[in-house]
Chains A and B, each alone.
Chain A
């Protein structure tokens, strides 16, 4: 008997006492999915929670986002910037005008990614109540390694992408899962509490996260 058959046989033996075979009919779930979380102000809550994670956040008008990105990179001390293919051409022009070196993802090796100062991406959706930015790695965000290996991450989130909480965010992430695209949630920069439960910001992922919130 294969391990698969054996385990399934064990499970069926172990659950002999359960007579209703339809899982949904057997156990009701009293939960309404996809509900917003009541918040006084969604955008303000998002900003507060991002700051609570010791990440930085700045607001910009759509017309000034390019400059806000350049300012963020200056503040982070980054010169070389990894730019996914789907990034707004206007932002790229602003980066060039701001004296940044654009690096395109031409199947870069891990080592080349590690040598790049920063990465610039968009986002899919953000959840205010937990300060979570969700990436679905479309062409404004690039493959997963881009937002992982470089030490600084500048992420542009539009205000209309900010929802109250995770349930609403999951609704907007559904198409990506159905398309079998990977998803990454980022809540502040990388951190650890492994030594005496003291929170330390910045371990293996980008040690600095800078959010540009576009109106």
Chain B
């Protein structure tokens, strides 16, 4: 998918649709990562937008982390609390269900995306309404709920500013926290001018590209939708097992609108989103905003514990979503990814993400966390999912910032192994790559074999003494793929073994 696509398709309004049509391409049909990034890397505007945004947010996050005297202890606590939940998920889910039900919430369980969407569609239909307002939610993006609602004749309106930009732009999100990070202000202005009037209150005709003016256009456009909506749909940042409370953190107030004004609220929440106790929130609600937006606290946090008479929705539903999470849980190494609280710090520090953006990851979860989570949630049978664990230089910057201490690079390596094993199972005849690595493995397994190989590199080093780097190799294949893009130093004329032996001799 090219980023500029939607701008060039200044499309006629499709009168058969209730909401702006998203791109037709499905995530699973996307090419492998190295192919997919080609167009992104060639898009100067996109790279400028991304560099600006990720640099800003990285700086803010680092500053907010430095302010907290016990940040590392807090990360460790978050890791432990989330491990406790993940390792005993059945226990906490049953407890949460019991508490939520007692507080007047109807709890549903969904094995997969389709089941979750069906539950939401059925509840909405029973309310005799043809629209819903939505809080930004990763779970409902994962299930592609908006399109399921559209098919059922229900318009789903995204109300987060960035999600609105994405929806109005017939686009896909490219970041889990700021989904329109790939758009700059003038692109947003164009989208609002072109599209808002087709779906409700238009943007003021004389609007400039000043962010406050653009935010005000969103306020005007959405206000009528908030005030009249009968059904709200949300995800959830946390469910507190011991009280049955739901927690949503946000900035704009669109979340509060959606979960306060409609009569019915349906929250679709991944089964891993639990914390054991209300007290545990002191850890997560300090880690999350500082890690995600680089603020001491996000502007609004809502916590609700069932139905309150005379205040907010009187009909509350929670859909507990599996959709592959139990598959992730099966892998003792990979399951650590389930601690993720969707802060996006890992993508903001990732040198790969900064250059290619979120679209090439072929999933609603881009960046480092997406590279370990997506192939676990969906399995490694498609080309895109097989390529994701390799979409990393293993620099480890993500490991350092993750507020719940997910060892992302370790899991990346683990997933690479799983991909290789999967391919081995599918292709009994070894590929050139496999033969090469087998050979390397054999050579490095014993000291004397490595020493033997080094006599060869030593000779090469002596032969090309004046050359500093191996330049591009003109023979196509694995070697050229490497050398064409990297400066590889020439092997040294003296190996470490030789140097060591010499040193011992002169002692």
Q: A residues bordering B, Cβ < 8 Å? A: 2-4, 6-8, 10-15, 17-18, 21, 23-24, 26-31, 33-34, 37-38, 49, 52-53, 107, 110-111, 114, 127, 129-132, 137, 143-145, 148-149, 165-167, 170, 174, 177-178, 180-198, 200, 202-206
Contact = CB atoms under 8 A, between A and B. Distances in A.
B222 to A, nearest CB: 7
A174 B242 CA distance: 12
Contacts of B180: 194-195
A198 B77 contact: no
B53 interface: yes
A177 B330 contact: no
26 contacts: A6-B109, A14-B326, A15-B89, A23-B85, A23-B276, A30-B77, A53-B299, A131-B296, A148-B261, A149-B261, A166-B285, A167-B282, A177-B245, A177-B305, A182-B312, A187-B296, A194-B165, A194-B252, A195-B183, A195-B211, A197-B57, A197-B181, A198-B211, A203-B218, A204-B159, A205-B257
Contacts of A7: 93, 109, 111, 271, 320, 322, 326
Most buried by B among A34, A131, A181, A190: A190
Q: Bin the interface of chain B by size.
A: 35 or more
A185 B297 CA distance: 9
Contacts of A2: 109
A193 B302 contact: no
Contacts of A14: 326-327, 329-330, 335
B49 interface: yes
Given A14-B326, A15-B88, A29 B81 contact: yes
**What 9 A-B pairs are tightest by C-beta distance, nearest first?**
A205-B253, A31-B77, A204-B253, A143-B311, A130-B297, A10-B326, A190-B253, A185-B301, A194-B162
Contacts of A23: 84-85, 87-88, 91-92, 276
A148 B214 contact: no
B223 to A, nearest CB: 7
Most buried by B among A13, A29, A149, A206: A29
Given A26-B87, A144-B260, A170 B77 contact: no
Contacts of B271: 7, 11
Nearest to B320: A7
Contacts of B52: 196-197
Contacts of A191: 251-252, 299
A38 B257 contact: no
B208 interface: no
A11 B91 CA distance: 10
A202 to B, nearest CB: 7
A15 B329 contact: yes
B425 interface: no
Contact of A29 (B77, B181, B214): B77
Interface in B276-297: 276, 278-279, 281-283, 285-286, 289, 293, 295-297
A57 B357 CA distance: 40
Given A7-B320, A145-B311, 9 more contacts: A2-B109, A3-B115, A15-B88, A33-B282, A37-B69, A132-B301, A177-B303, A195-B185, A205-B300
A177 B282 CA distance: 14
B211 A200 contact: yes
Interface in B51-67: 52-53, 56-57
Given A14-B330, A177-B243, A186 B303 contact: no
A48 to B, nearest CB: 11
A177 B278 contact: yes
A144 B49 contact: no
A31 B49 CA distance: 40
B394 interface: no
Nearest to B77: A31
A12 B326 CA distance: 9
B212 interface: yes
Interface string B69-87: 1000110110011011101
B133 to A, nearest CB: 11
A107 B310 CA distance: 8
B88 A196 contact: no
Interface in B85-105: 85, 87-94, 103
Nearest to B110: A3
Interface in B380-395: none
Contact of A196 (B49, B297, B335): B49
B311 A144 contact: yes
